[in-house]
Structure 1
Amino acid sequence: MKFTEIEVGTGFAGDRTARIYVKTKNLRASGVFIPSFGTKMTIRPGAGGDPRHPGSCVAKMDTGRTYTDNIGAWGDKFLVYEVSSPEAKADTTRIDKVAACTFQTHYKVDGNRGASPWSNGPDGGLRFDSAAYINPYGKQGAVFDRITPVMRYSRTDAAVKGVAEHVYDAIYAPQLTYPQKNDKDIPGNIWNGEWQPLHRNYRKFNAESKKTSAQNRTAKNAACAGLTNGQDEQCDEFPFASTKEGAGKGDGNFSVRYVPQADNSAAGSRLSQWYGQDRILDGDAYGMSVDRPTLRGLPSPARPLRRGSRHRDEEEVIRLQPGDRVLVAHQLAEAGCGRGASGTEHPQPITAVGGKREGELGPVDGAHHQISATAVVVPFAQPSNSAPRGSDKSGPAASVTSASCSCASLRTSTAL
């Protein structure tokens, strides 16, 4: 038996809860699983977290722990389950009481003439927090933490033009920046095969973060002293003072430049606002984008694809509209990309954004607390009493197979 499962998840600002919407379709039942044999299928959502914090991740449905229905009903089924994290069960050694969770669906088929083992749907990642320091954007929240958020400036935006040009030069032409240094390599670029994210540093998080903030300020001021400023200008630094990679790191991989005071103020306000809206906590990684929208910006080798393009063995393509964000799970042994170990499943995010050429997909959307989605096909093995020739009767069900890492498409596979 084989069917398609599509999951779309929504996180929230103000609540340590995420909601996962599950859609099943394209069901094909044969052999001992045909409907006339009284076949039923059961879904069981699950969630797991850090073993040091038991109970920090909980998955539940309105119907209880599981839901069962006749096999024919699963050809067009819509279900919802929630994943939550009680604050008291989280990591209370951190002021933001974070909990990292993995969520996953599990399926089982039972009939009068046989039963399948449990099969696993794709797994996804959530991060819950109670970060009061990003208020007023919600003292609690949930984000999909397998998506790397991105902060964006534009050199065509007059309000931040001076800062945007500085960041652009720092990332893409560091040899042109001050202070001069041979082989300067300034982090922030996660595009075009690079993976040098920044990490937020919240000064009041702990003693180490406070020390980092002070070191950044001291090193930046010393570097700025070597420049001459014009009227109504301020000394800007990149990486930002609010990062672990700032000037105080001591490796010389930073830049300072005098920019218009108004630009510096506007850019700083936008960064602070984005930290809150996207729930960027102390230590969280993020990338910078300045007028470089490209799908090759995924933090791993990935082939650019046009919307509607197909790979071999694909049967269906999800059509995206501008603004859609999709987290596509893939199997590395099949897709040959991603940063996980070979043969494991590792989600990669893509985003459909406006302003591109027709049919082109864009980079990861920074608002990773709002929505992510996973599209997969879950094939089931035949029960052991009717296994086809050449199969391992004692083995598990066929593994979850899904789309290539850089497109929002579905790919089917034949059940073992």
Structure 2
Amino acid sequence: MTAKECLKGLGTTKKFYIKSRFAVCSGASFHQAWFVNNRPSGESLLNFIAVGTIAKGSRTVHIRHHYLFKITGRTGAPGLIITPKVTLPQKWPASAQISQGGDFPTGRTWAELAAQPDPGFSHNLTGKSGTGSGRDDALFAVFQPELRLQVTGGWKMSGALKGAPFFLAPRWDKAKYLSGARADGGAAFSYAVHMPFSTKAGALEKAAAQHIKDAYTKPKATEPSNTKKDIPGRTAKEPLTRLYHDEKRREDNRDEAIKVCKAKWGAGYSEGGKKQCDEFPFSSTYEGAAQALKKYDPQGKAPKKNFSARPIPKDDNGAGGRIMSSFYSKNRIIDGSDDGFLIKVS
């Protein structure tokens, strides 16, 4: 992502812009009003943006910090000392090791930075393989860029002298089941992206997409019957989560869905193999049809019958499955509650 793309994505109101799980940016604006003899003499504006990118399969998160300057009237802006700072206030697990590098500068004046062809600096973060937790060796960090300004030359001004824009947390893992996964794993930004489905004419997954749409918009009309059905996957607060390591639970998700298809449409629901029992949430999620079984929910807290199952054409079901599989790999979705995703049906 370039600085130009970032600025366009941020527009005038957004605090951060997400191009993908591997390209994000955030920014902050510092506006100064300057005074001579207690009278306004000019204004200045410093825009600070941080652009984070991750190369495919890399464990290094590259953050490029850019400065953009504007002055009108008579100001002391050229003498402002601009001091950047980055911190990692939190990391999970606590034993995770994250190295930092780049051409991180000390404080420089506005004039010195503005004279550079590309004002700013680069900062890199690399999560060390083997220092994470769980079967996927996952580790997370809160990355916080910050900027401080210092007035010099006896000038008087009004405006913020420091700011810390929001930045998405990076995550590292060694999930070997991701397509094209490298031995030492890779990184992504922690953000719940949307898995896309389409009900439009000609869409190969049309019937699967319609099933998902009905499960969200007309849950009472889906099977199994449940007047309180409320399937997650529409908001970041209630995402779906990938189930990979527990193969038996995936099978149980499928079996529970098939029971519904047989009970409602009969043992011949497949019409001689033309149709398959489609389930939503997917069998590859922890929110699948088996989530309320006692062996997965011994305390009985999971919502019961909070899924939908129906026979759909075999080809549509297969197309939906390919979308799901590609999405998991393309977006580096790993097993467990630490990495949720959303659904979008057009």
Q: State the one-letter code of the partner of 1:134.
A: L
Bigger relative contact order, structure 1 or 2 (CA pairs below 8 A, ≥6 apart): 1
User: Separation in 2 of the partners of 1:196 and 1:229?
Assistant: 32
Q: Which of 62, 75, 81 is the matching residue for 1:40?
A: 81
Equivalent residues in 2 for 1:207-226 (5 A)? 209-226=246-263
Distance in structure 2 (CA, Å) of the matches to 1:180 and 1:90: 42
Contact 2:220–2:229, Cα closer than 8 Å, also in 1: yes
Counterpart among 311, 314, 319 of residue 261 in structure 1: 314
Residue of structure 1 equivalent to 2:227: 182
Deviations 1:237-296 (A, max 9, x none): 1110001111102310111111111111121122011101101111221111111xxxxx
- Could you say which residue in structure 2 is the equivalent of 1:384? none
* Conservation of the 8 A alpha-carbon contact between 1:160 and 1:266: yes
Superposition CA RMSD, Å: 3.0
> Runs of 5+ in structure 1 lacking a partner?
292-416
Structure-2 separation of matches of 1:178 and 1:89: 44
1:197 lines up with 2:234 in the alignment: no
TM-score scaled by structure 2? 0.70
Q: CA deviation at 1:118?
A: 8.4
Q: Which runs of 5+ in 2 are unaligned?
A: 1-31, 33-44, 293-303
2:214 corresponds to = 169
Q: Determine the C-alpha separation between the residues in 1 that align with 2:151 and 2:228.
A: 66
Judged with a 3 Å threshold, the aligned counterparts in structure 2 of structure 1 residues 263 and 137 are, in CA distance, closer, same or farther, namely farther
Q: Is 1:24 matched with 2:77? A: no
CA change 1:60–1:67 in 2 (3 A) is farther
| 2:209–2:345 Cα contact (<8 Å) kept | yes
Whether 2:112 is the aligned partner of 1:73: answer yes
Find the aligned partners of 2:176 and 2:260 in 1 and give their Cα distance. Answer: 34
Distance 1:90 1:31, change over 3 A: farther
Q: 1:52 to 1:100 in 2, by over 3 A?
A: closer
Query: Relative to structure 1, is the Cα distance of residues 72 and 262 closer, same or farther in structure 2, using a 3 angstrom cutoff?
Result: same
1:283-325 CA-to-partner distances (Å, cap 9, x unmatched) read 221111111xxxxxxxxxxxxxxxxxxxxxxxxxxxxxxxxxx
Percent identical pairs in the alignment equals: 28
| Alpha-carbon distance in structure 1 between the residues aligned to 2:177 and 2:161 | 42
The secondary structure found in structure 2 opposite 1:132 is: coil
**Distance (whole Å) between structure 1 residues aligned to residue 314 and residue 176 of structure 2:** 30
Contact 1:104 1:120 (C-alpha < 8 Å) held by counterparts? no
Aligned match of 2:165 = 122
Aligned pair 1:279/2:332, yes or no?
yes
The structure that is strand-richer by fraction is: 2
Q: 1:130 offset after TM fit, Å? A: 1.5
SS of the aligned residue for 1:165 comes to: helix
In structure 2, what is the Cα distance between the partners aligned to 1:42 and 1:183?
A: 54
Name 2:35's counterpart in structure 1.
none
Alpha-carbon contact 1:177-1:256 (below 8 Å) kept: yes
> In the aligned structure 1, how far is the partner of 2:306 from the partner of 2:277?
17
Corresponding residue pairs, total: 276
SS at match of 1:222: helix
TM-score by length of 1: 0.59
- CA displacement 1:354-376 (0-9 Å, x = unmatched): xxxxxxxxxxxxxxxxxxxxxxx
